[in-house]
């Protein structure tokens, strides 16, 4: 038990330290080469204008660097490689601390880095205003197509290699999906990815994702998925290093290279802690990732309302956190209250998950 606790905690601390030490170098680079948007957003997802958003964030959008997510996935990747190299060089206790394993961490690490690279490309397009359609950066259609393709391939691995065809649904329990598991996995991955738009206020997304991955680290640990738990905690440590520099006023934004990496990794972790880990990882996902879900739904509802009700909106601006800003809440108040809710949701999710083990 003691060694397992060390195996889970040490990577997180290591990633945090690496993130803290390396971020000043990254920050210097981002500011030196002006890695921020060169013009404010003028078109929303539904094709409309963005006057309210620009009144809240226009100045910061064109003066604060993007790509802060590099701190998160860079620190996590370096930490993972350090423990892997030490295990191969010295063996012994280092071999026991290595959490890179084919059965638990290869897939989440792969999709984590894949999302980081695709997101980084999108960020570079945004910075250099390389237009894909009517906006800078990769168009939403292309990003969704890429995520659909990679999630389809991962779902095939789950189904054919890992023999996963049962999902624990909320209030229903174990449900046999058979081949329908494949499209179900793809849909859930796309939906979780859509929650990445929570990255819109200084420190907001980082705090929420830290709570989510902490919850799944606990669930994986108690399900004896120690390597997966270590993978989750190394992400938490990296996020905390990012938050050190992202609390208001943010030194940089997480942007797509961070949010895509985190949401895609989360989608895999959710399913790995479900029937594959003899647990209820998916069943408690609506609780643990509640803020991601309502953030995504608020934008979906807003778009449909404007289309069906001839331009009439439900929220002042979507997603929901910007609605609170537009209502008069200071950005720091929105962030702090979201952090509080995310911690409560994480604790509730852990409790419900452990009750089922």
Q: Is 174 helix (H, G, I), strand (E, B) or coil?
A: strand
pTM: 0.95
Q: How many domains does the chain have?
A: 1
Q: Tell me, what's the pLDDT at 51?
A: 66
Structure tokens at 47: 């094709």
How many alpha carbons lie under 13 Å from residue 177 in its C-beta half-sphere? 20
Taking a C-beta distance cutoff of 8 angstroms, is the pair 9, 69 a contact? no
Residue linked to tokens 């449900």: 175
Which residue ranges of the chain lie beneath pLDDT 50?
none
Which domain does 59 fall in, by range? 2-356
pLDDT at residue 311 in the model: 79
Report the alpha-carbon distance of residue 195 to residue 217 in Å, rounded. 20
CA–CA distance, 235 with 239 (Å, rounded to integer): 6
CA distances from 29 to 32, 76, 237 (A): 5, 20, 22
Spatial CB neighbours of 160, under 8 Å, sequence gap ≥ 6: none
Question: How many degrees, rounded to 5, is the angle at CA 259 between CA 253 and CA 262?
Answer: 130
Could you report the per-residue pLDDT of 300-348, keeping only the tens digit for each?
999 999 888 877 889 999 899 999 999 999 999 999 999 999 999 999 9
Q: What is the pLDDT of residue 61?
A: 76
Give me the phi and psi of 356, to 5 degrees please.
-95, -15
Residue 41 three-state SS: coil
Predicted confidence at residue 357, as pLDDT, reads 54
Structure confidence at residue 38 (pLDDT) = 75
């Amino acid at each position: 038990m003691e060694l397992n606790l060390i195996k889970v905690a040490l990577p997180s601390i290591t990633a945090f330290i690496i993130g803290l030490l390396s971020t000043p170098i990254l920050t210097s680079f981002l500011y030196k080469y002006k890695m921020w948007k060169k013009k404010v957003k003028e078109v929303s997802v539904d094709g409309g204008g963005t006057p309210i958003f620009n009144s809240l964030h226009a100045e910061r959008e064109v003066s604060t660097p993007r790509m802060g997510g590099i701190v998160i996935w860079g620190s996590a990747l370096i930490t993972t490689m350090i423990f892997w190299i030490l295990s191969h060089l010295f063996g012994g206790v280092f071999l026991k601390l290595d959490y890179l394993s084919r059965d638990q961490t290869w897939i989440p690490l792969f999709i984590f880095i894949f999302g980081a690279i695709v997101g980084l490309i999108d960020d570079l397009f945004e910075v250099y205003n390389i237009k894909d359609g009517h906006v800078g950066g990769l168009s939403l259609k292309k990003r969704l197509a890429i995520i659909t393709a990679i999630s389809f391939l991962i779902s095939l691995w789950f189904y054919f290699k890992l023999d996963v065809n049962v999902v624990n649904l909320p209030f229903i329990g174990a449900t046999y999906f058979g081949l329908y598991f494949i499209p179900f996995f793809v849909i859930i991955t796309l939906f979780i990815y859509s929650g990445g738009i929570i990255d819109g206020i200084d420190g907001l997304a980082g705090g929420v994702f830290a709570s989510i991955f902490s919850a799944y680290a606990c669930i994986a640990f108690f399900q004896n998925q120690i390597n997966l738990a270590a993978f989750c905690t190394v992400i938490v440590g990296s996020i905390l290093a990012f938050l050190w520099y992202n609390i208001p006023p943010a030194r940089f934004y997480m942007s797509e290279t961070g949010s895509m990496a985190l949401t895609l990794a989360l989608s895999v972790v959710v399913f790995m802690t479900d029937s594959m880990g003899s647990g209820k990882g998916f069943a408690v996902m609506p609780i643990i990732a509640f803020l991601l879900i309502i953030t995504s739904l608020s934008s979906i509802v807003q778009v449909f309302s404007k289309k069906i009700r001839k331009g009439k909106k439900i929220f002042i601006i979507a997603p929901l956190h910007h609605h609170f800003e537009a209502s008069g809440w200071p950005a720091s108040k929105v962030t702090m209250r979201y952090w509080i809710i995310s911690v409560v949701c994480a604790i509730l999710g852990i409790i419900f998950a452990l009750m089922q083990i």
